[in-house]
Amino acid sequence: MPTIALMSKNGQKVGDVDLRQDVFGVEPNMPLMHQAVVEELANLRSGTADTKTRGDVAGGGKKPYRQKGTGRARQGSIRAPHYPGGGTVFGPHPRSYEQRMPRKMRRAALRSAISTKVAGDQLVIVDELTVDSISTKAMVEIMKNLNASGKVLIAITDVTDELIKSVRNIPGVMLRVAPALSVSELLDSDRVVMTKAAAQVVEEAFSK
């Protein structure tokens, strides 16, 4: 059972937290995490790229020159793909890139991602994470106290307007509500800051 120090937002240790082995201490499954990341990134694609075929390009209704006697190759339209301004062959058209993973596999991928952060000493459990007023400066100071720099993923349970607006202008810091976490964001973060309440919610949501 992983045991992690419980920190205050001032950066002081106030106790220890025992985390569930089946959520925070599993053996990471790399292929499963890769599949989850591919799914998430694919589902973010809009799929709106579009090109015009020769049937969509305006013009070209008239034969450019007569069929015979010119010594040139016969042509039927100046909007054929080999002409400048002609249609595109095999170009992209609007489509869906959506992928689906079975629920059990996705939960297992999240457990692996969280456990990877625990094993790499990149998870910080804080007793509470609140600010009295909207202050980016105060939030930066809290991150500094928790030794959270670079790309930081903050997982909380109670979202306040003060917290959202204090975090949004800090480069590289993401605020998420547990247990709605992303495998790609977890793996991409340099540090994961999770409140004690959020850790409990994650355990309840992803325990086997």
Task: State the pTM of this model.
Answer: 0.82
Q: Which of the 8 DSSP states describes residue 198?
A: H
Q: What pLDDT does 108 receive?
A: 95
Q: What is the pLDDT of residues 146-201, one digit of tens each?
A: 999 899 999 999 888 999 999 999 999 999 999 999 999 999 999 999 999 999 99
In the predicted structure, residue 208 carries a pLDDT above the cut 90: no
Give the Å distances, CA to CA, from 132 to 135, 161, 163, 166.
Answer: 8, 11, 9, 10
Helix (H) or strand (E) holding 115: helix 103-119
Domains and CATH numbers, the chain: 3-45+100-206 (3.40.1370.10), 48-96 (no CATH)
Q: What is the pLDDT of residues 51-76, one digit of tens each?
A: 999 999 999 889 999 999 999 999 99
Q: What pLDDT does 122 receive?
A: 94
**Residues 162-197, buried b or exposed e (16+ Cβ, 10 A)?**
bbeebbeeeeebbbbebbebbbbbbbebebbbbbbb
Q: What pLDDT does 130 receive?
A: 87
Q: What pLDDT does 117 receive?
A: 94
